[in-house]
Structure 1
């Protein structure tokens, strides 16, 4: 109740009415100086109107403080919390930690997007780690922290993202590719197809990362994040015979130059060149090394029908990143529906109609 008479120490009530209410997170209390209840209520009603219509005092918050608060309240609970922390730090550094967030406008956003594009990252990464994250932060500042922020047309700053690509290697293409890969590099290609590991994860795999007893191996992917993958019998049979010529698992024999005949670790550029040539010789259209990872994921999903299992294999923090493979189960469902389609053909309906007509006659 916002209007009342205070009690004195002797238990009696004061002659004038007081008020006590909260507006926009602020508590207002005092005396109306009115002895009439109706007059006191009019006083409070007028006071609330004046509070509502008064120019709102703008709170000040720096970008540094906003990032810290956003991290504590929201960011640390994201599925990809480490990525969020990195992106928040980048936003703070590029806007300036002392910048008043109420002064951030469309020009600032445009500069951030241009700078991030200059880093050479994909449009989707720019959208997620820059534009959408800043929009989320400023929206929270406005709606939760009660900070006046600028109106920004966010849609104008979102970059067009290419349609998600999932290229699965067919069994015939796999056989043709492996036939064109030189013998000492073939285990690495097969390993990528079987495990879904990224190219760099394959190259960095060391013998010490393999737990033969528990049949598992550990790889380190993007952002130096490690994950442990169970080792199937097929993968074990692939790795076990390989020569222990180096700390790294995958090695090759140098064919030319002064190091000819020596076994060395497979390096990124050499693998890229050989893979591209093998794809050309095998006459496979539109195939990249990363498509071997897609192949492993789609085959696993088709087998287990569990997107969470695929997420664990690929090491995705966000399940939304993995859902691009859901087309596999969609296709399986479509094929299953097609198999029962003929029973619903127009001819079947015509036959049913004739039966009904005959029964009526």
Structure 2
């Protein structure tokens, strides 16, 4: 009965999120922990080939627990985009905490000496955040306040691309710690222009892509085609498309559209993986680089109130269904 009451309370929170916030409008946080995450920085080819090694790096993230006690909580790991940790990430953090879900905002940039990759994506390999996410998953799965069976991965833009492809079984075999897995994957406006080997063979967990139809940073077309391929293979994948919404449509700080004239975009590139993890430009069959003619500059980012509201509803529904905030976890640890 207690579990059922808690579940109804979580549903009430879904409809009246502000009722779960403190008087000043911020979610209650019972505890904050800064947790180091030992990881490595590999080239994309090394990552794809499953090469052991890479350049060691110790990054960190902030774990926030919405309530005190000894019970194990569901968790969402949040992966930032090319601009680093911004207000959209922290807004989502507050939103999830208000639902009774713990959050872990993982910073893949600071410890590597990076502020932003918006204008220069070569500063960090595209798949580095995926390795970081798998490393964080292994650590947080052992945390005494976290239920290892209820950990979701959510990413934005560059981080969304990593959250998207983290769902591949092949990458789990190569990089995830045995016995650990995410309960669901959510990718906000990711770059779907890459084709990896075995990329239609996903783990048996929900995958959701949320993207605007007016996005000129990471256009929605490749994501439509990818989701069609995934569904044809029986994967639980869904694209939720928001008409007229731009990139970063959930960022309230972008109430007025902002032009980023120097931002690099691969919107007209198609990149394919060949043997040994080699990534090539599908148009030229030559190794892909950011000097390729298909790489352009100039994008628009803008908040869209309706799209943001509908995306919040979609994410809340997935969190309720998969993470079941308020449910009592019974976990047997090795």
Structure exhibiting the larger radius of gyration computed from Cα positions:
1
Q: Same fold (TM over 0.5)?
A: no
Taking structure 1 as the reference length, the TM-score comes to 0.21
Higher share of residues assigned helix? 1
> If each structure's strand is expressed as a fraction of its own residues, which one has the higher value?
2
Give the structure-2-normalised TM-score: 0.22
